[in-house]
Amino acid sequence: MLVTGAAGLIGRAVLDRCAEEGADVTALVLDDPGDLKADRVVAGDAGDPSAVRQAVRDADAVVHLAAIPSPNHHPAPEVFGNNTRATFTVLDEAGRAGVRRAVIASSLCALGLPFSPTPVSPVYVPVDEAHPLLIADPYGLSKEADEATARMAARLHGMSVVALRFPFVGGADERLPERAAELAADPSDGARELWAYLDLRDAATACWLSITRPLSGAHVLFVAAPDTLASQPTEELLARHHPGSPPRAGLPGRAVPIDLSEARRVLGFEAAHPFRL
Ligand SMILES: NC(=O)c1ccc[n+]([C@@H]2O[C@H](COP(=O)([O-])OP(=O)(O)OC[C@H]3O[C@@H](n4cnc5c(N)ncnc54)[C@H](O)[C@@H]3O)[C@@H](O)[C@H]2O)c1
């Protein structure tokens, strides 16, 4: 299989999972860091058809993670252009090479809340895949375009393509402790992300299920831990920070205000690694 963005945060967790599963892996990375758990490393740009063609040779599935993961550190045209070109090129070359299973990283940011220049609240909670996209930033827009590319590739090439809308992802020793401490000090900081999170191992599991479960067509799915990274009850947080968002279901305790039933139905996915400060 091919893993793009394999040297990144989630990419390395996916390589760990592939090694556990005994999968044969090609990693596509901009620069080879020299320590990747992969059988083959191709250094190249995921938006370059010839690099992708070389990397996807002999692959039976693709995990596409290569992207600039925020709008804040690169010019907007670069964020949008890099991410959407990479997704189009990887899925198109994979389809042409006969690959019929793919998963791509979308984001909770496809909702438009996290990077909006002005605070935006959900139209209802818990949000689900039918929630309107309220995007006003180039990163969120790149993920919306990537989801459209996934649907196109599924139709054009007869592939199954899953677009996983990841929330804030981190590990027990990496990113999650700092973020949980920030939210404990100021829960308002998490309102844009709906205080959601996912452990890296669970992110890797969601990728693995996306390319191994019997599936056809394109699927856009929210994945997240069932609880939030905040310490306050969710209904209290919502009443304070998103008072105009009508609740459609009860959210007891620290339940994440995201409906996770579609990922459960399609992938059988349940996060298995809750984080506790
Ligand atoms: N980490 C999170 O919290 C989070 C949340 C939501 C979505 N995501 C998405 O998950 C994916 C992986 O994120 P991450 O946190 O591992 O990011 P990361 O920055 O750690 O890794 C991304 C990797 O992609 C590479 N890359 C970028 N553009 C490339 C290109 N054109 N060709 C080849 N490689 C390229 C980068 O060099 C980097 O190594 C991204 O698509 C990101 O948007 C991440």
Torsion 143-144-150-156 (CA) sign: negative
Phi, psi of 42 (to 5 degrees): -110, 125
Tell whether ligand 1 has an atom less than 6 A from the beta carbon of residue 5: yes
Cα(251) to centroid(ligand 1), Å: 31
Cα(68) to centroid(ligand 1), Å: 5
Cα(232) to centroid(ligand 1), Å: 30
Mean pLDDT for 91-105 is 98
Tell whether ligand 1 has an atom less than 6 A from the beta carbon of residue 69: yes
Cα(15) to centroid(ligand 1), Å: 14
CA-nearest residue, atom 1 of ligand 1: 169
CA-nearest residue, atom 2 of ligand 1: 169
How far is C-alpha 19 from the chain's CA centre?
21
When pLDDT is cut at 50, 70 and 90, the band that residue 122 belongs to is very high
Mean pLDDT for 161-165 is 98
Q: pLDDT digit string (tens) for 15-68?
A: 999 999 999 999 999 999 999 999 999 999 999 999 999 999 999 999 999 999
Note every long-range contact of 176-181, with CB atoms under 8 Å and residues 24 or more positions apart, other chains counting: 176/229, 176/275, 177/275, 177/277, 179/229, 180/229, 180/275, 180/277, 181/277
- The pLDDT of residue 250: 94
Burial string for 12-50 (b: 16+ CB within 10 Å, else e) reads bbbbebbeeeebebbbbbeeeeeebbbeebbebbbbbee
Gap between the Cα atoms of 250 and 246, Å rounded: 11
Domains of the chain with CATH codes: 2-267 (3.40.50.720)
Nearest to 130 by CA among 252, 222, 251, 250: 222
Tell whether ligand 1 has an atom less than 6 A from the beta carbon of residue 123: no
Tell whether ligand 1 has an atom less than 6 A from the beta carbon of residue 107: yes
Mean pLDDT for 76-81 is 98
- pLDDT beyond 80 at 277: no
- pLDDT beyond 90 at 102: yes
Gap between the Cα atoms of 141 and 111, Å rounded: 9
- The pLDDT of residue 209: 98
Tell whether ligand 1 has an atom less than 6 A from the beta carbon of residue 66: yes
When pLDDT is cut at 50, 70 and 90, the band that residue 130 belongs to is very high
Mean pLDDT for 259-274 is 98
Q: Which two tokens stand for residue 106?
A: 């979308």
When pLDDT is cut at 50, 70 and 90, the band that residue 125 belongs to is very high
When pLDDT is cut at 50, 70 and 90, the band that residue 92 belongs to is very high
Are 195 and 167 in contact by the 8 Å Cβ rule? The answer is no
Q: pLDDT digit string (tens) for 174-187?
A: 999 999 999 999 99
Alpha helix locations (H) across the chain?
Answer: 9-21, 49-56, 76-96, 138-157, 176-185, 200-212, 234-241, 261-267
Gap between the Cα atoms of 159 and 247, Å rounded: 36
Gap between the Cα atoms of 255 and 129, Å rounded: 17
- The pLDDT of residue 276: 81
Are 138 and 252 in contact by the 8 Å Cβ rule? The answer is no
Burial of 196 by CB count in 10 Å (0-12 exposed, 13-18 middle, 19+ buried)? buried
Torsion 208-210-214-216 (CA) sign: negative
- The pLDDT of residue 270: 98
- The pLDDT of residue 107: 98
Tell whether ligand 1 has an atom less than 6 A from the beta carbon of residue 11: yes
CA-nearest residue, atom 35 of ligand 1: 66
Mean pLDDT for 269-276 is 95
- The pLDDT of residue 105: 98
Cα(136) to centroid(ligand 1), Å: 20
Tell whether ligand 1 has an atom less than 6 A from the beta carbon of residue 68: yes
Q: Give the atom of ligand 1 at the shortest distance from the alpha carbon of 168.
A: 3
- In the chain, the percentage of residues whose pLDDT exceeds 90 is 99
pTM: 0.98
State how far the alpha carbon of 126 is from the alpha carbons of 1, 226, 234, 247, in Å. Answer: 35, 12, 11, 7
